Structure 1
C-alpha cells in the first residue's frame, strides 16, 4: 500500500491539476455569462448537491472504513448505490418543473433535467473510486479526475462561447461524468465489481442512514446561501455570493479536499490496525493551518485586486463578501478533517450530531441576516465559524482522546507563521493601496512579500512544515548530486 506522503503528493497533484484547469475556465466563463445566469446554475447545483448526498447511501465511506472487506460486501454496496442513484435521477427529473415553478425560473428546469443524467452514470464509477481510496491508489484517481475535468471544461467553454448560457456548465458536468466512468472502468478495472448482491445490506444500511443524514444536513447548510439569497434577495445576489465564495470553495476543495481523502483512508487504516489516529489528526491540523491561515489572511487583505483581476469590474460587489468569508474560512480550517476522524473511528453518530447542530445554527443565522443585506449574510459566517470551532473542539476532547492542550499545541506553531506572512503584504497595502488603476503592483508585491514572510516564519518558528520541506529538498539535492 502506498505511503501517506506519496498519497498526499498524488492527491495534491490531482487537486492542483484540477485547479489549473478549472480556474481559467471560471475566469473565462465569468466573462461569457451574466451574474443572473451564474445564479440560475448555482441554485440548480445547490439542489443537485443535496440530492447527491443520497446517491450512494454512504456506501463509499463504508467501504473505506470497514475492517473486513470481501467481494460480497462490495457487491452489496454497489447494488445499494445503483438502486438509490437511479431512483434519485428519476425523481430529480420529475421534480425539476416544481423547483423551477417555486423559484419562478424556467431555466432551473432545463438545467436540472440535464444534470439528472449524471445520477444514471454515477454508480458505475463511485464504487470503484471508493475501493481505490481504501487501497490509497491515488495515482489512478489522479488520471481519472484529470481527464474528466478536461472534458468538462472543454464542453462548458465551447457551449458558453456558442451562446448556450447557463446550460453550458450543465452539459459540461455530464461530459465530465461520462469520462469519469470510462476512466474508472478502464484504469480501475482491477477494482471492478463482479455482479450484484444484497448479502450484507444490513451493516451497509446501518452505517448509511447516519452518514447520509449527516451528509444531507451538511450539504443543505453549505448550499443554504444559494437557496436563501436566491429566494429572499434575488438571483443576481446569489450569483455575487457564489462568486465571492468561489476562492474559499476552491481552497476547500483543492487543498482541504486533497488532504481529506488521504486523511480518511489513513485514519481508517490506523483504526483497523488498533493504532492512535488522533495523533495523526493533530499532526494534520498543524500542517493544514500552516497553509490555510496565511492564505485566508492574505485573501481578506487583498480581496479587491484578486477579484478585479480574476473576474472583472462587474464583480466588485463581491469584495466584502470574500473578506468576511476568508475570515470564516481561516477559523473553519483550524480543525479540518474532524468528521473524517470521528467516522473512521466508529463515531459516525457523533459526527452526524455535530454537523446537524452546526448547520442548523448556520442556516438560522443566514435567514436572519438576509433580512438586512447580502453583506450581512457574509458577515454572519464569522461568529458562526467561532461557534463551530468551540463546539467541534469540545466533541473531539470528549470522544477522540484528544485534550485541549493537544489542540493548542497543534495550532500554536502556525500563529507566528501567519503573522510573519502578513507583515510585508500589510505594508504594501498601506504604501501602495490597490485601486482600479493600480492592481498588479500591490498584488505582486504583496504576494512576493507573503512568500518570503511565510518561509521566514516557518524557519524562525521551527514549524514542522519547515523540517518536512528541508528533508524533501535535502533528498532531492542528494539525488541530483548522486546522478552527477
Structure 2
C-alpha cells in the first residue's frame, strides 16, 4: 500500500504542474483534438488487453502456458489494432470534421506496438504485489511523457506534442519493465490456454469497453455536436476531478483487485475490504470535490488561466458528478475478483447507457447543460449499482450507509466553514487568491477536526505519521 500510495501521489505531483503548463501553451481547440483522439485510443486499448491482465491476476496458479498464451493473444490483438487504427484515422477525422485527428491517431497507433510488453509484466507485478517495481516504472514513464510533451508544446508542435509524449511514455514503460522486472518477462509464445484466456477475456473486455465508452461519451458527443473547442473546455472542466480520481483515490484502489482476488481465493469475504475502501475513498473525495465545486472560479484561474473561464460552471457540476460516482467506485473490480465479470459487464452497460442517453439529449442545448445533467444521472447509477451488489455480494444498503456515514460527517465539517467564507468573501476577477486561500484554511481545519472527532478510518492512517513526527519536534526543541 505504501508504494501504491507513493506512486499515485508522485503521479499527481508530476501531472498537475504539467497540465498547468500545457493549459497555457495549447488552445481549447488543440486540447479538444487530442482529447477526442486519446479517448478513442483508450477504448481501443480495452480491446487490446482482452482481459489478459485481470486473467493472470485472478488465477490461483500461473503456469508458463497460461502466461505465454495471455502474452501471445495480447501481442496479436495489439498489432492488428495498431494497423486498424492507422488506416481508419482518415474516416474518424471526417466524422468529427477535424483534420488534425488523423495525424494524431496515426502517431498514437505506435503505442500498440510496444504495449503488450509492459502490459503483461505489469499484470504479473500486480499479482505478486510488487508495487515497488511498479512505482519506479510508472514514475519513469510519467517523467518521460510529460517532459517531452511540454518541450514539444513549448516549440509550437500543437496537438502533436501530447501524442508524441504518449509514444515516448509507452516506450519508457516497456523498457522499464524489461530492465527492472526482467524476471517477470514472458519468454516464448504459446496458444495452449487460448480458450481459458478468451473465455474470461470476452466477458471482461465487454465490461471494460462499456465502461470506457461511458467515459468517452462526453468527448465524442460534444465533439460531434458542438465542436473541438467545446471538447477542450469540457476536458479542462472535468480535468481536476478526473485527476483526483486517477492519482489520489487511485492510491487506495490500486491494490484492490489483487487484494480482493487473494481474499476470495483464501475463502474470505472481499466485500468487507470493499466497504472499507469506500469509506476511505469517500472520506477523501466528498470533502475535496465539494471544495472544488465551491471555489471553481479561483481554482480554474489559478491552475489553468484566463482562457479557460468558460469551463468554470463545468468544473462546478463535474466535481459533484465525480463525488457521487466515487461513492461506489470500482464495483466492477469486486465483481470480477469474485468470478462474476459477466455481471460486472451488465451493471456497466446499464450505467453507461444512462450516461450516453443523458449526453445526447443535453448536448442539443449547451455544454453547461451537459455537465448539469450528469449529476442526477450519477445518482441513479449509484442506486442501480448498489442494487446489483446487494444481490451478488454480501453488501446490503444498511452496510453501505454505515460505511459512508463517517465520510458524510467530515465532509460537512470541512465544507460548511468553507462555504461560509465564500459567502463572506466571494471570489471574482479581482479576488482570486484571497478567497481561495481563506476558504482552504477553514476547509482544512474543519476536515482535520472532523476526522479526529468522528474517528474516521483516514485518521487511523494519519495518527502513526503524527506519532512519528512528535519525537522529531521534541528533539528539535531540545536542541534549540
Equivalence for 1:462: 455
Choose which of 74, 99, 105 in structure 2 pairs with 1:112: 105
Determine whether 1:158 maps to 2:151. yes
Equivalence for 2:72: 79
Count of matched residue positions in the alignment of Structure 1 and Structure 2: 477
1:3-60 CA-partner distances (Å, limit 9, x unpaired): xxxxx22112111111111111111111111111111111111110110111121100
Counterparts of 1:309-328 in structure 2, within 5 Å, are 309-328=302-321
Q: Distance in 1 between matches of 2:240 and 2:160?
A: 23
Counterparts of 1:32-431 in structure 2, within 5 Å, are 32-431=25-424
Equivalence for 1:432: 425
TM-aligned CA deviation for residue 478 of structure 1 = 6.5
Equivalence for 1:4: none
1:41-81 CA-partner distances (Å, limit 9, x unpaired): 11111110110111121100111111221121111100010
TM-aligned CA deviation for residue 475 of structure 1 = 5.2
Q: Distance in 2 between matches of 1:231 and 1:207?
A: 34
Q: Does the Cα contact within 8 Å between 2:252 and 2:280 map onto a contact in 1?
A: no
TM-aligned CA deviation for residue 138 of structure 1 = 0.8
2:268 is paired with a residue of what secondary structure?
Answer: coil
1:197 is paired with a residue of what secondary structure?
Answer: coil
TM-aligned CA deviation for residue 219 of structure 1 = 0.8
Q: Does the Cα contact within 8 Å between 1:210 and 1:348 map onto a contact in 2?
A: yes
2:47 is paired with a residue of what secondary structure?
Answer: coil
Q: Distance in 2 between matches of 1:306 and 1:347?
A: 41
Q: Does the Cα contact within 8 Å between 1:328 and 1:381 map onto a contact in 2?
A: yes
Q: Which runs of 4+ in 1 moved over 4 A?
A: 475-484
Structure 2 residues without counterparts, runs of 5 or longer: none
Q: Does the Cα contact within 8 Å between 1:260 and 1:340 map onto a contact in 2?
A: no
Q: Distance in 2 between matches of 1:257 and 1:55?
A: 22
Q: Does the Cα contact within 8 Å between 2:126 and 2:258 map onto a contact in 1?
A: yes
* TM-score, normalised relative to structure 1: 0.96
Q: Does the Cα contact within 8 Å between 2:53 and 2:119 map onto a contact in 1?
A: yes
Would the alpha carbon gap of residues 154 and 468 (structure 1) be closer, same or farther in structure 2, given more than 3 Å must change? closer
Q: Does the Cα contact within 8 Å between 1:40 and 1:108 map onto a contact in 2?
A: yes
Q: Distance in 2 between matches of 1:185 and 1:302?
A: 44
TM-aligned CA deviation for residue 255 of structure 1 = 2.2
The alignment yields a C-alpha RMSD, in angstroms, of: 1.6
Structure 1 residues without counterparts, runs of 5 or longer: 1-7
Q: Distance in 2 between matches of 1:458 and 1:406?
A: 20
Would the alpha carbon gap of residues 314 and 480 (structure 1) be closer, same or farther in structure 2, given more than 3 Å must change? closer
* TM-score, normalised relative to structure 2: 0.97
